[in-house]
């Protein structure tokens, strides 16, 4: 059977995940990921015709909380673990791509 | 250029910030203008080991909007992670809904200039969490404030049924009214509660052939004006680009542009292609939502008559102009006050004038909405009836309404206290008019001689009567007596 995942795809996934991989790592991960995918291919043999897609592994739903405010951490504590901060803000490398924002 | 025709195709993505007290998945209080990074906790900071828990109110608000937009509400929805690599969402993913959105397949009625309405299909509406704010202004780094990160956000996506910028803007305004009517969002543009992302392209007919320009998504517009202008700019730009390069739509050549409000142009941000690979997958930290039975019925109970429907009803039932009906229904609380006062016996048109010409002016001066002035519907109706009967005139009504707000007294009491009841007694007014005529022989002469001066002189005489009665003479009756005496 051919490789389930090629080097190109590994490079693409790495790029999307903001990971920098060396040539050796790409080779290594391509092999490993291929093996994993091949293993999972076994699942394809199962008859899932009557099985509903599973959204969550626990058989529960509707776990809510009421809309009541609780104490937040506060600025000082929030920034305590940050590698860098600038006044009350987290300080991060300049964001060049302006298309952030959900 | 002669055989070139084009049609504009626009679809809208709209983000609406819901007015829940707390964030979508944690109990941090939502606020605006707070100290940066003060309203955050381990959940919205994406700390290891923290777990999100759904805000029930946010789900209910979102369902309510879905219902108002005539959507099919899913009885089963779940949460997905959308990969996202910006520091304004520290988890590196946004919790959103991918394949099972909360609401689908609806529509919104958008009023057109010709008085008709156009149905714009709603593809879907789903809940997600907002990102924080990146601030780029200082030095060689960016600042991040995560207070907004995790705030409940409703994303609404329309089908590409809009054909010009005005329709897009009108839809946005209509949606703002709807979410305010439902009290699920303040929809304050200044605070970024509504953000728009239009997808724009053109279908061009040139020399008998049809071409489609590549789709452009304009990101993060936060005013109606920017929405309208950026679309207009983009239409021109795409037309120019097509004429110069002939570039047409292909797989993967959709691009993203930003709006530069200062230069009034759109600026290329990225060619989308593979960047669009968000690799959604179900969020194992959150359980699904099952929506049916009493809970769904309870939510439905919070629906109300929507602004456009109300506006149309006011025109047909109360015989108001579309403009007046639009003003009265712009805010739900104003409309409710109006309707209560009509029930209390006010004539709709008279009441409408009172509200739009005096009430809204006073509200505006106070920097509040009409309902916040504390006007009593019964009193408002009385005031309208008093004008109707000619007991007071318009300027007295202004005065009385101001006092109603201050003192909460009823208008009849106030009119008496302030000595504003009009003189409508014909015999008494007859005498005063007679006096005025004697004292102003020249004006009488001018009226009788007709011509240009006549109208002015008549106005002068009415003014004299008003002066003698300290503005309390009923102008209709004065005018009637004057005409009788001078003809």
Last residue of a domain, one of B269, B295, B321: B295
Residue B301 lies inside a defined structural domain of this protein: no
Q: Output the average pLDDT for chain B.
A: 92
Say if B53 is an interface residue toward chain A (CB within 8 Å): yes
- As a whole number, mean pLDDT of residues B99-127 equals 95
Would you say the C-alpha torsion B401, B402, B404, B405 has a positive or negative sign? positive
Structure tokens at B260: 């530069």
Cα separations in angstroms, B129 against A12, A38, B184, B483: 27, 36, 16, 71
CB atoms within 10 A of CB A10: 22
Among A55, A77, A83, most B C-beta atoms within 10 A, so best to mutate, is: A55
Residues B360 and B211 occupy one common structural domain: no
Answer yes or no: is A21 within a domain.
yes
As a whole number of angstroms, the distance between CA B94 and CA B151 comes to 11
Q: Using one digit for the tens of pLDDT, what is the confidence trace for A83-95?
A: 999 999 999 988 7
The mean per-residue pLDDT over the stretch B263-280 comes to: 78
pLDDT band of residue A102 (cuts 50, 70, 90) is low
Mean pLDDT for the stretch of residues B349-368: 94
B286 in the same domain as B317: no
Domain count, chain A: 1
B329-333, B391-395, B398-402: lowest mean pLDDT where? Answer: B391-395
Number of neighbouring beta carbons within 10 Å of residue B187: 19
When pLDDT is averaged across residues B396-419 and rounded to a whole number, the result is 91
Lowest mean pLDDT among B134-138, B328-332, B381-385: B134-138
Q: Which of B65, B32, B39 is closest to B192 using CA atoms? A: B32
Would you say B56 and A66 are in contact if contact means Cβ atoms under 8 Å apart? yes
Is B302 within the bounds of a domain? Answer: no
Of B417, B451, B472, the position where a domain reaches its end is B417
Note whether B80 contacts A: Cβ–Cβ < 8 A: no
Q: Does B272 touch chain A (CB under 8 A)?
A: no
Other CB atoms within 10 Å distance of the CB of residue B337: 23
Question: In terms of domains, do B163 and B213 share one?
Answer: yes
Asked whether residue A28 is assigned to any structural domain, the reply reads: yes
Asked if residue B83 belongs to a domain, the reply is yes
Q: Chain A residues with CB inside 8 Å of B130's CB?
A: 102
Q: Considering only CB atoms, which chain A residues are within 8 Å of B144?
A: 89-92
- Is the pLDDT confidence value at B278 over 90? no
Better-scored residue on pLDDT, B115 or B155: B155
Check residue B262 and give its pLDDT: 92
Chain B: closest CA distance from residue A11 (Å): 12
B54 touches chain A (CB under 8 A): yes
Q: Taking CB atoms and an 8 Å cutoff, what residues of chain A touch B94?
A: 102
Evaluate if residue B252 carries a pLDDT over 50: yes
Please judge whether B28 and A69 are an interchain contact, meaning their C-beta atoms are less than 8 angstroms apart: yes
Residues B267 and B393 in one domain: no
CA A99 to CA B259: how far, in whole Å? 11
Segment A39-60 mean pLDDT: 88
Q: Which of B417, B438, B467 is the last residue of a domain?
A: B417
Q: What is the pLDDT of residue A67?
A: 98
CA pair distance B341, B404, nearest whole angstrom: 15
- CATH classification of the domain holding A19: 1.10.20
Residue B11 pLDDT greater than 70, yes or no: yes
User: What does residue B449 show for φ and ψ, rounded to 5 degrees?
Assistant: -75, -10
Determine how many CB atoms are found less than 10 A away from the CB of residue A31: 14
Optimal mutation site among A11, A82, A88, A101, interface B, most CBs of chain B within 10 A: A101
Tell me the chain B residues in contact with residue A97 when contact means C-beta distances shorter than 8 Å: 269-270
Per-residue pLDDT averaged across A11-26, rounded? Answer: 90
A99 inside 8 A of chain B by CB: yes
Domain ranges, residue B131:
4-295
Residues B355, B247 within the same domain: no
Any bridge partners for residue B126, and if so which?
Answer: B155
Residue A83 counted as domain residue = no
DSSP B24: S
Interface check for B89 against chain A (CB to CB < 8 A): the answer is yes
Q: Identify the band that residue A52 occupies on the pLDDT scale cut at 50, 70 and 90.
A: confident
What is the average per-residue pLDDT within B353-381? 93
The answer to whether A67 contacts B41, with C-beta atoms less than 8 Å apart, is no
Residues 309-368 of B with CB under 8 A from A: none
Residue B43 covered by a domain: yes
Distances, alpha carbon B461 to alpha carbons A100, B358, B442, B448, in Å: 70, 28, 11, 13
Number of domains in chain B: 3
Q: Stretch A42-58: mean pLDDT, rounded?
A: 87
Q: What is the pLDDT of residue B382?
A: 95
Q: What is the pLDDT of residue B60?
A: 98
For B469: left if phi > 0, alpha if psi spans -120 to 50, otherwise beta; the answer is: alpha
Q: Confirm whether B300 is domain-assigned.
A: no
pLDDT level of residue B422 (50, 70, 90 thresholds): confident
Using the Cβ of A55 and the Cβ atoms of chain B, whether some distance falls under 8 Å is answered with yes
Which chain A residues have a beta carbon less than 8 Å from that of B277?
12, 16
CATH at residue B433: 1.10.10.410
Report pLDDT for B344.
95
pLDDT at B274: 53
The residue behind tokens 């991060």 is A92
> How large a percentage of chain B has pLDDT more than 70?
98
pLDDT over 60 at B250, yes or no: yes
Q: Which of B30-34, B268-272, B340-344 has the lowest mean pLDDT?
A: B268-272
Question: Residue A71 pLDDT > 90, yes or no?
Answer: yes
pLDDT (mean) for A16-30: 92
**Domain span including residue A15:** 7-45
Asked if B335 and B223 sit in the same domain, the reply is no
Q: Is the ipTM, as predicted for this complex, more than 0.90?
A: no
The reported pLDDT for the residue numbered B443 is 87
List of chain B residues whose C-beta atoms are within 8 Å of the C-beta of residue A98: 136, 219, 258, 269
Can you say whether the dihedral through the CA atoms of A34, A35, A40, A45 is positive or negative?
Answer: positive
Residue A15, domain member (yes or no): yes
Which one, of B453, B451, B393, B381, lies nearest residue B422 by Cα? B393
pLDDT at position A1 over 50: no
Question: What average pLDDT score do residues B254-260 get?
Answer: 92
Alpha carbon of residue A32 to chain centroid: 18
Assess B215–A contact: CB distance below 8 Å, yes or no. no
Closest CA to B97 of B52, B63, B128: B128
**Which of B33-37, B258-262, B276-280 is the least confident region?**
B276-280
Q: Which residues of B touch A95 (CB under 8 A)?
A: 86-87, 134, 136, 142
Three-state secondary structure call for residue B82: strand
Q: What are phi and psi of B78, to 5 degrees?
A: -140, 180
Clarify whether residues B287 and B320 are in a common domain. Answer: no
Q: Is the pLDDT of residue B484 over 90?
A: no
């Amino acid at each position: 059977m051919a490789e389930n995942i090629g080097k190109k795809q590994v490079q693409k996934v790495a790029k999307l995940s903001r990971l920098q991989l060396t040539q050796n790592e790409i080779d290594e991960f391509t092999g490993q990921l291929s093996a994993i995918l091949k293993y999972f291919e076994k699942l394809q043999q199962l008859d899932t015709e009557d099985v509903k897609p599973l959204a969550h592994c626990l058989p529960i739903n509707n776990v809510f909380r009421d809309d009541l405010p609780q104490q937040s951490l506060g600025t000082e504590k929030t920034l305590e673990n940050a590698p860098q901060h600038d006044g009350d803000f987290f300080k991060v490398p300049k964001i060049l791509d302006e298309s952030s924002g959900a | 250029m002669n055989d070139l025709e084009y049609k504009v195709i626009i679809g809208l993505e709209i983000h609406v910030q819901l007015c829940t007290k707390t964030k979508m998945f944690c109990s941090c209080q939502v606020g605006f203008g707070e100290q940066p990074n003060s309203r955050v906790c381990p959940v919205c900071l994406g700390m290891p080991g923290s777990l999100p828990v759904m805000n029930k109110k946010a789900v209910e608000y979102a369902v309510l909007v879905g219902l108002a937009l005539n959507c099919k509400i899913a009885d089963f929805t779940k949460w997905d992670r959308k990969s996202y690599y910006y520091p304004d969402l520290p988890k590196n993913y946004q919790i959103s809904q991918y394949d099972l959105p909360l609401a689908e397949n609806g529509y919104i009625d958008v009023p057109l200039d010709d008085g008709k309405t156009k149905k714009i299909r709603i593809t879907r509406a789903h809940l997600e969490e907002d990102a924080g704010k990146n601030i780029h202004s200082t030095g060689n780094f960016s600042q991040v404030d995560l207070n907004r990160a995790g705030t409940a956000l409703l994303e609404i996506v329309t089908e590409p049924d809009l054909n010009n910028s005005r329709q897009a803007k009108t839809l946005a305004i209509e949606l703002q009214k709807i979410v305010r009517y439902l009290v699920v969002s303040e929809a304050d543009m200044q605070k970024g509660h509504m953000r728009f992302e239009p997808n724009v392209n053109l279908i061009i007919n040139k020399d008998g052939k049809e071409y489609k320009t590549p789709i452009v998504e304009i990101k993060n517009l936060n005013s109606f004006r920017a929405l309208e202008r950026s679309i207009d700019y983009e239409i021109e730009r795409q037309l120019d680009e097509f004429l110069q390069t002939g570039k047409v739509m292909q797989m993967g050549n959709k691009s993203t542009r930003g709006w530069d409000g200062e230069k009034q142009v759109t600026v290329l941000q990225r060619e989308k292609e593979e960047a669009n690979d968000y690799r959604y997958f179900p969020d194992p930290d959150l359980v699904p939502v099952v929506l049916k039975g009493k809970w769904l019925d309870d939510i439905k109970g919070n629906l109300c008559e929507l602004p456009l429907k109300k506006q149309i009803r006011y025109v047909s039932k109360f015989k108001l102009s579309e403009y007046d009906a639009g003003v009265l229904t712009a805010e739900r609380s104003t409309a409710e006050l109006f309707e209560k006062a009509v029930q209390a016996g006010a004539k709709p048109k008279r009441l409408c004038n009172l509200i739009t010409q005096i009430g809204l002016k006073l509200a505006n001066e106070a920097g509040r909405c009409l309902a916040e002035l504390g006007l009593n519907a019964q009193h408002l109706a009385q005031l309208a009836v008093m004008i109707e009967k000619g007991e007071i005139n318009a300027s007295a009504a202004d005065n009385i309404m101001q006092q109603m707000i201050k003192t909460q007294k009823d208008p009849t009491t106030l009119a008496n206290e302030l000595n504003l009841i009009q003189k409508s007694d014909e015999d008494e007014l007859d005498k005063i008019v007679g006096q005025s005529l004697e004292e102003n022989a020249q004006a009488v002469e001018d009226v009788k001689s007709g011509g240009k001066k006549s109208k002015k002189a008549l106005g002068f005489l009415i003014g004299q009567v008003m002066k003698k009665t300290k503005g309390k003479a009923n102008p209709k009756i004065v005018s009637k007596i004057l005409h009788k005496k001078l003809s």
